[in-house]
A = this chain, B = another copy of it.
Amino acid sequence: MHQREALSAVSHPIRIDDPADERLAAYRDIRERDLVGREGRFVAEGKVVLNVLFGHSAFQAESVLILESRLDGLSDLLGRVPDHVPVYVAGKPVLDAVAGYHVHRGVLAIGRRRTQPDLDGFLSALPARAVLPVLIGISNHDNVGAIFRNAAAFEANGILLDETSCDPLYRKSIRVSVGAALKVPFARSGNVEGILAALDRHRFECLALSPRGRTDATALDCPGRTAILLGSEGHGLPDHVIERLRSVRIDMSAGFDSLNVAAASAIVLHQLWTHRQRA
């Protein structure tokens, strides 16, 4: 029965020819939707991201929207769409009119987070040996997406974001993360003080990444629960935070001491991953 329904959904996607059709309301003016009125929903784009969405239980898909001309090449993906999720199909003019821009990939879905974990619940669920990037004031969607991608590649156990960092479920962050934003568990809550207190309650050692850090990153290991605080490109972490924590630096050229925060996260997460593999 389930098998037949799945096949039926794949065989009979719902064709929509009217850009004003209310079933596509969640896809309307996608770029503006990044800013306001997302109501817990997110937009997933592209085959790779949708495969993560359908394979990960923390998120549920509400609908799928496929460009007509892409349909033939997507039977594997469409076979993974849960039975109850409608698959809409539209021609290019309709798709572009609804989305409000030129949707060149032509593979979209609307998803929703099943649950929004609170900070203590999130931290207590992490294992006794854990690596946790903590993003403070990182509001650039590309950087947040790139840090999630690095976290997935190097098996960080989760990501924590303060309330001034951007939501990883922004369309662009999900896209840059290649779906990792739907895969790596995360919580986004409170300010740096509240986060540090919670990390302390849950017995995390907190490292502050800073160009002026006292410990070189190549000396890092991760014996227990390790949180790595990362600040924004412009301002970095607040001084009072760096002073209170064990601070870590990535040594680099004195003539060009400028590293993107996502690149820095790649180096530190790779270091910790390599160390854990060998331990």
Q: Which residues of A contact B (CB under 8 A)?
A: 142, 146, 149-150, 152-155, 178, 180, 183, 218, 250-253, 255-260, 262-264, 266-267, 270, 273-274, 277
Contact = CB atoms under 8 A, between A and B. Distances in A.
Contacts of A146: 260, 263
22 contacts: A142-B142, A149-B258, A149-B259, A149-B263, A152-B255, A153-B256, A153-B258, A154-B253, A155-B252, A155-B255, A155-B256, A180-B256, A183-B256, A218-B274, A250-B270, A251-B277, A252-B273, A260-B262, A260-B266, A263-B263, A266-B266, A267-B267
A184 B252 CA distance: 15
Contacts of A264: 266
Contacts of A149: 258-260, 263
**Can you list the 7 inter-chain pairs with the closest CB atoms, starting with the nearest?**
A263-B266, A152-B256, A153-B252, A155-B253, A153-B259, A267-B270, A266-B266
Contacts of A154: 252-253
Nearest to A150: B263
A259 B252 CA distance: 22
Contacts of A142: 142
A253 B267 CA distance: 15
Contacts of A259: 149-150, 153, 266
A252 B153 CA distance: 5
A274 to B, nearest CB: 6
Given A150-B263, A153-B257, 7 more contacts: A149-B263, A153-B259, A155-B256, A260-B262, A262-B263, A263-B263, A267-B270
A235 to B, nearest CB: 15
A256 B184 CA distance: 11
